[in-house]
Amino acid sequence: MTIDGDGFRAALGCFATGITVVTARSRGRPVGLTVNSFNSVSLDPPLVLFSLGRHTHVYWDLLEAPHFAVNVLAQDQRPLSERFAAPPASGRFKGVAWRDGPFGSPLIGGTAARLECTVAHKYQGGDHVILVGRVLHLEAEPHRRPLLYHQSAYAALAPEPLAPEPPVPEPLVAGLGRRAVS
Ligand SMILES: Cc1cc2nc3c(=O)[nH]c(=O)nc-3n(C[C@H](O)[C@H](O)[C@H](O)COP(=O)(O)O)c2cc1C
């Protein structure tokens, strides 16, 4: 059976995902791109993965970086998703609130979670490379609702009409670096 590109894309679009911006430092510069292929791999050791397109401008930057960060976008951060998927000449980090993570990868403010990783494995995956990262540092703000993606469109979690608003907890910070997020 031949799999045609449009059908493949339509089938994959049935799977709803969150949206992340994966960042790294390359020759001292912050680099990043919008990624929805992020997924968890293992709890012990703590591993995550994402697929990096071979034809992206940031391919070599990310492939050669020893660390990367996964910034999980919150519901109000659609402009960041669009900016980090647009040509890099537009200045992806211009005006964005970010700071260095403990291992030098840019951590973006206002995100629902930030995970900084060391690159543990790289696998060939057709026109992508699969990067597996071991999580060294994490920050989570679970009260921030996530930005979602489904059928090539942005989406949001439907509010639960009868559920009371949960109290806003303190941000969770874990790992080797313990700075609170701004
Ligand atoms: C919602 C969304 C999800 C994306 N997910 C991925 C992904 O998982 N891996 C990837 O390599 N590119 C992904 N892209 C595409 C890149 O963000 C975009 O092509 C890239 O930023 C262009 O990069 P370049 O200018 O560095 O070539 C996604 C784009 C969007 C809008």
Does ligand 1 have an atom closer than 6 angstroms to the CB of 20?
no
Nearest CA to ligand 1 atom 16: 85
Indicate the top mutation candidate among 9, 26, 35 to test ligand 1's pocket, ranked by most ligand atoms within 8 A of CB. Answer: 35
CA separation for the pair 60, 64 (Å, rounded): 6
pTM of the model: 0.90
Tens digit of each residue's pLDDT, the chain (182 residues): 799 999 999 999 999 999 999 999 999 999 999 999 999 999 999 999 999 999 999 999 999 999 999 999 999 999 999 999 998 777 899 999 999 999 999 999 999 999 999 999 999 999 999 999 999 999 999 999 999 999 999 999 987 777 677 778 788 888 865 554 44
Run of H or E residues at 174: strand 172-175
**85 CA to centre of ligand 1 in angstroms:** 5
147 lines ligand 1 (CB under 6 A): no
Domain ranges of the chain: 13-175
Q: In the β-sheet with 153-156, what is the strand arrangement from edge to edge?
A: 17-18, 147-150, 153-156
Q: In angstroms, rounded to a whole number, what is the distance separating the alpha carbons of residues 142 and 111?
A: 10
CATH architecture entry for 13-175: Roll (2.30)
Ligand 1 touching residue 105 (CB < 6 A): no
The pair of three-digit structure tokens given for residue 72, joined into one six-digit string: 């999980």
Query: Can you give the pLDDT at residue 180?
Result: 46
Residue 181 has a pLDDT of 47
Q: How far is the CA of 50 from the centre of ligand 1 (A)?
A: 11
